[in-house]
Structure 1
Amino acid sequence: LLTAREEGKRAAEDRAKKQQSQAVVDLLRQQQAKELQDRGRRARERREADAARAATDKEALEQGQRQRADFILSQLGAESLQGIPGFESQTLADQLKTLETALRRQRTKTDRVPRAVPKPPRDPVEVQAEEREKAILAERVRILRDSPGMSEPDVMRQATERIDQRQFLLESDIRIKDLNAGGSQPPTGGPSQAQEPTSSDDDLSQARQMIQGLDPATARQELQTAGFSADEITRILGG
């Protein structure tokens, strides 16, 4: 009986030891599994962070390449793409390389062959029309600065009238000076009698039209600048 009890006790102790050993083994396995999961999670997070950073870097690189390509196109001109076969099918990086090569060739050609082609003389009528257009645009800016609420058609009409008026007064001044130069010589055999030139009725009528809308003081000043005499100014202003 005693032997049976001792054997039962040893068997129970053996079972307890086996259970304890199994528990330790299970705990170690759980720790190993958790460590593997943690390592896998950290590796996955690193890969995702690297992918996000690579995508950001790629986007920044492509944006810089597009800006560079746009700048080169502004230097070459859009028509330069017609001489590059297959340009549209190239990748952005290849397009940039192609454009940079074209820009270097253009600059090298420009530096190597200085352009010294004399410009042909321009038509005086064309030059005068261009100067008139520039003067009208400059006068438009002044009118808009003084009267910002004026409509665009009224601004252009007034600017055109002012420039045409100034041109007429300038031409009238030139004609009057020419008449002064031709009529200031004294008659042969008599005293020096410089005659004041008299403007034609057509000149007076045109001057009267050109000063419409101006106040009397400004109109008188413009007419004096143009070389009209006091009597002619009185006739023009008096209608």
Structure 2
Amino acid sequence: MVSSTTSEYLLSKGVSPNYISEIVEAATRVNYAQDADTIHALEGACSMAAENAAGVAGGNFQLFEQFLKRSKAEVFLNTPVTSITPKGHQWIVKSARGSHTYQAVVIAAPFHQTSITVPQSVADQIPPQPYVNLHVTLLSTNASSPSPSYFGLPEGSKVPQMILTSRANARNGGNEPEFNSLSYHGTTRPGEWAVKIFSKKPLSDEWLDGVFPGAVGWVHRKERADDLNAAAHDIIIIIIII
């Protein structure tokens, strides 16, 4: 499933193109800010997980703790790795613990955002792992729903408080959707609602006024890509030795 896109995989299983573009893609765009024809099928399937899915009492992280415990692997936390160098059919890993030789190494980290040194011939084979640029806009409004006119609807039309989007129209030469998702998240006080919008580009005050005419209170904007790229330099580098 990780070797094909969500669209490719579902089409091969007989799922209709309309269902993929109108239902599945709406889910991948709100959950991962990616379209069904770019995100891999495993992640696309995760997007379709039902609400209130089963979990492990105390936290799902225990699954991974048990993987490590039952494998009897040696775990070294907070141990920065500085270089990985080939030596014949083995690899020399240099870290805060010194240098050690292993038969194989798996780098479970965004390599190009780390400071790990490897031979150029190895680095050239590692594809980039770009982060998705995601803009999050939080706002308050006294409008109980978005403006019908923004969506080309007659005045007085009822607009839902959650709207998901698809790129189906854009792929056929139409306009790009201006946001991934728009959702109301309850009231902040009587007559005022909190709204969250995910988009690939920043949303201006003028745009917000068009969707919530004269009804916007406070606005808070955040871009996720910069935060994640900066955080990548501080990620604990996990190296699984085989």
TM-score, structure 2 normalization = 0.18
Greater relative contact order (Cα < 8 A, sep 6+)? 2
TM-score, structure 1 normalization = 0.19
Higher helix share: 1
Higher strand share: 2
